[in-house]
Each structure stands twice: as structure tokens, then as C-alpha cells.
């Protein structure tokens, strides 16, 4: 998508890898592989087919953001294309993943957040713990949030 979006309306859909693989991967390719130089072989893993995924689309139904929830409460692969950042898309995706964790009886949500995204997760109620660690050559910190059921 070139240039800023003309409006900030978007929708969220709960989906799975089999149904939405191409759209989910395209967002992650753009954000992680192209922008952040994550090796392509690290971007898709054995968890994708068994996770619940959230897909954000703009008013024209184009994919603009995604995230996933593993069955152990891990929130991950949260990515929003550049033109849609700072418009509430990422927060809406994470809130939906937290809601899904609660619906599934998970006591907490856990995120391995890029250090530069810690403030984003803190604004959503997560708290950082432990030391920094490297994932795909990018510094991260573990974050936790107690899920309300």
C-alpha cells in the first residue's frame, strides 16, 4: 500500500492459517522479512497451523495487520504494515488476542516483545520480566498479563 490510508477504519477477523495463510504471511513478510531483515526461514514455524490468528483489514478489505495466539497463551507475530501504524490497529489486534485467551481459559497472556515495543505492550497492561534476549537477531523481553475471564 503506497502512502497513508485515506481513513482509519478497519475490521478484525479471527481466522486460522489454512484459511488466511497468504494474507497473514504477506503482512509478516513486509514487516519482519523486508523491514526488519528477519530470515524468511524463521518467520513461519510449526505453530502457525495450530494457532488462532487475528487479521486486520482496511475498509477496502486489504490486509493491514495480524497477530496470533498459541495454545499456551503466547501472543506473537503481531505486525502492522507501516502506513497503518499508530492508528490503533496493533492495540486492537492484541486486545482481541487477550480476549481469545480469556475465552479459552488461559490464566495469562505472554509476549516476547521486541525491546522497542515494550511501551506498546505496557500500555495494554503487560509487565516486563527477566533479562533481554535475542530472537532473530533482535533484542526482546518477556512480558506477561493476567487475563480476566
Q: What percent of the chain has pLDDT over 90?
A: 86
Scan for cell 490497529, then name that residue: 89
Of the two residues 149 and 75, the one the predictor is more confident about is 75
Confidence band, pLDDT 50/70/90 cuts, at residue 149 = low
Return mean pLDDT, the chain: 92
Element containing residue 69 per DSSP (H, E): strand 63-69
- Residue 50 has a pLDDT of 96
Edge to edge, the sheet with strand 108-114 lists: 10-15, 52-58, 63-69, 74-80, 108-114, 138-146, 127-135
Confidence of residue 4 (pLDDT cuts 50, 70, 90): very low
Report the pLDDT averaged over residues 11-18. Answer: 97
Q: What's the CATH superfamily of 10-146? A: Gcn5-related N-acetyltransferase (GNAT) (3.40.630.30)
As a whole number of angstroms, the distance between CA 67 and CA 99 comes to 13
Amino acid at each position: 500500500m503506497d502512502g497513508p490510508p485515506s481513513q482509519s477504519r478497519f475490521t478484525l477477523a479471527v481466522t486460522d492459517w489454512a484459511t488466511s495463510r497468504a494474507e497473514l504471511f504477506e503482512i509478516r513478510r513486509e514487516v519482519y522479512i523486508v523491514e526488519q531483515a528477519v530470515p524468511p526461514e524463521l518467520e513461519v514455524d510449526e505453530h502457525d497451523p495450530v494457532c488462532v490468528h487475528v487479521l486486520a483489514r482496511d475498509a477496502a478489505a486489504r490486509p493491514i495487520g495480524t497477530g496470533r495466539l498459541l495454545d499456551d497463551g503466547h501472543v506473537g507475530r503481531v505486525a502492522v504494515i507501516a502506513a497503518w501504524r499508530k492508528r490503533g490497529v496493533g492495540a486492537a489486534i492484541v486486545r482481541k488476542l487477550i480476549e481469545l485467551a480469556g475465552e479459552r481459559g488461559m490464566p495469562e497472556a505472554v509476549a516476547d516483545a521486541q525491546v522497542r515495543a515494550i511501551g506498546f505492550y505496557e500500555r495494554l497492561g503487560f509487565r516486563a520480566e527477566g533479562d533481554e534476549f535475542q530472537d532473530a537477531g533482535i533484542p526482546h523481553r518477556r512480558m506477561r498479563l493476567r487475563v480476566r475471564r
